[in-house]
């Protein structure tokens, strides 16, 4: 797990990017640090059980795991949204750039530069595309025309449809609008919950390419929750795998993509080729990290 706490403080000029000291490149400092977090819903349902992860400034990090592992709950804990679902962070700390986020109001968390694109392409269906973008800027002083244009530059099809009701957009366009709306809040950490869900492979590629560009061109740090492990590990630098509310494995994305257990369980591949879901289920029982 990356824990390069002091890389930037040794060389204050790094702005979170990898620091060069005496010829050696140190990893970037973490933008986000989640330490030993426990989340309980309805005062009894324990979902996160000591979850820890770290997202280096300027990186793309993938959070993978099977259904019900607690990935969405992790994102909701970070953004303060668990409280809207009768959930509570009962243990641990969540720090963004060294400042504690737990118990802050969700709008304040957005103001601090964290935006979440929730699972299921949540857009305001009765509002136009442009009105959705205006809504995304509510934590800022008002709609920034330059920012709006930037969103249209990344998603040209939204510009053509700016006056159209969001409910009439295709699934892919709604996902683009959901990302565009999150960008209007000027996040430095963008979190996306299963952006590929239900989209055709061509659109998935397009969305992932844009995520990569946002990271490269704007320097936006990205925490990506995905079922599509293959695509996620292609664009991420580091990955975390969670099960039953805690991290069971983490490492550089390329290493995870080569890990035999990850290949069999999450990528559906083995030395002998693609396995059926039945085989994968069978293999699940003897994964090495359990």
Rule CB under 6 A: choose which of 8, 28, 40, 47 binds ligand ATP: 47
Angle between helices 129-136 and 145-154 (to 10 degrees): 120
Q: Which of 45, 46, 200, 290 binds ligand ATP (CB under 6 A)?
A: 45
CA–CA distance, 143 with 233 (Å, rounded to integer): 34
Residue 44 near ligand ATP by CB under 6 A: no
3-state helix, strand, coil in the chain (%, to 5): 40, 30, 35
By C-beta, is 118 or 164 nearer to ligand ATP? 118
Does 46 bind ligand ATP (CB under 6 A)? Our answer is: no
Q: Among residues 16 and 106, whose Cβ is nearest to ligand ATP? A: 106
Complex with ligand ATP: residue 68 or 219, whichever CB lies closer? 68
Stretch of 38-46, 122-130, 133-141, 258-266 lying at the interface with ligand ATP (CB under 6 A):
38-46
Closer residue to ligand ATP (CB): 45 or 290: 45
In angstroms, what CA-CA distances link 111 with 99, 101, 114, 213?
A: 13, 12, 7, 23
Of 32, 61, 69, 253, the residue at the interface with ligand ATP (CB under 6 A) is: 69
Does 67 interact with ligand ATP (rule: CB under 6 A)?
yes
- For residues 161 and 267, give the distance between their C-alpha atoms in angstroms, rounded to a whole number: 36
Q: What are phi and psi of 196, to 5 degrees?
A: -90, -5
Taking CB under 6 A as the binding criterion, the range among 67-75, 171-179, 183-191, 248-256 that sits at the site for ligand ATP is 67-75
- Near ligand ATP in 147-206, by CB under 6 A: none
| Cα distance between the two ends of the chain | 18
Fill in the per-residue mask, 74 to 113: x = in contact with ligand ATP (CB under 6 A), - = not in contact: -----------x-x--------------------------
Nearer to ligand ATP, 28 or 39 (CB): 39
Is position 224 an interface residue for ligand ATP (rule: CB under 6 A)?
no
CB 42, CB 29: distance < 8 Å: no
In order of 195, 198, 216, 240, 290, the CA distances from 269 in angstroms are: 23, 22, 30, 19, 19
Identify the H or E element spanning 240.
strand 238-243
Which residue in the block uniquely carries the two structure tokens 């009439």?
168
Site membership for ligand ATP, residue 246 (CB under 6 A): no
Nearest-approach distance from CB 100 to ligand ATP, in angstroms: 22
Q: Measuring CA to CA, which residue among 97, 108, 59 is closest to residue 214?
A: 59
Provide the binding-site residues for ligand ATP, judged by CB under 6 A: 41-42, 45, 47, 65, 67-73, 85, 87
């Amino acid at each position: 797990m990356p824990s390069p706490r002091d890389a930037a403080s040794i060389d204050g000029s790094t702005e979170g990017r990898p620091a060069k000291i005496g010829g050696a490149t140190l990893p970037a400092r973490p933008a986000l640090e989640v330490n030993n977090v426990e989340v309980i819903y309805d005062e009894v349902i324990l979902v996160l059980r000591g979850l820890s992860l770290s997202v280096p400034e300027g990186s793309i990090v993938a959070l993978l795991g099977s259904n019900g592992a607690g990935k969405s709950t992790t994102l909701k804990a970070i953004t303060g949204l668990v409280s809207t679902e009768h959930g509570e962070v009962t243990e641990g700390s969540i720090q963004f750039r060294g400042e504690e986020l737990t118990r802050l109001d969700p709008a304040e968390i957005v103001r601090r530069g964290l935006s979440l694109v929730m699972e299921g392409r949540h857009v305001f269906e009765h509002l136009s595309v442009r009105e959705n973008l205006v809504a995304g800027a509510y934590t800022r002083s008002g709609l920034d025309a330059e920012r709006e244009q930037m969103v249209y530059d990344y998603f040209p099809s939204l510009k053509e449809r700016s006056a159209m009701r969001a409910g009439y957009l295709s699934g892919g366009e709604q996902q683009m609008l959901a990302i565009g709306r999150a960008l209007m809040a000027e996040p430095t950490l963008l979190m996306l919950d299963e952006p590929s869900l239900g989209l055709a492979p061509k659109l998935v590629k397009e969305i992932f390419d844009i995520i990569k560009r946002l990271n490269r061109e704007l320097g936006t740090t990205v925490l990506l929750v995905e079922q599509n492990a293959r695509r996620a590990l292609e664009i991420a630098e580091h990955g975390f795998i969670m099960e039953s509310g805690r991290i069971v494995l983490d490492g550089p994305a390329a290493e995870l993509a080569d890990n035999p257990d990850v290949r069999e369980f999450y990528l559906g591949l083995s030395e002998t080729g693609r396995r059926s879901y039945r085989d994968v289920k069978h293999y699940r029982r003897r994964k090495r990290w359990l």
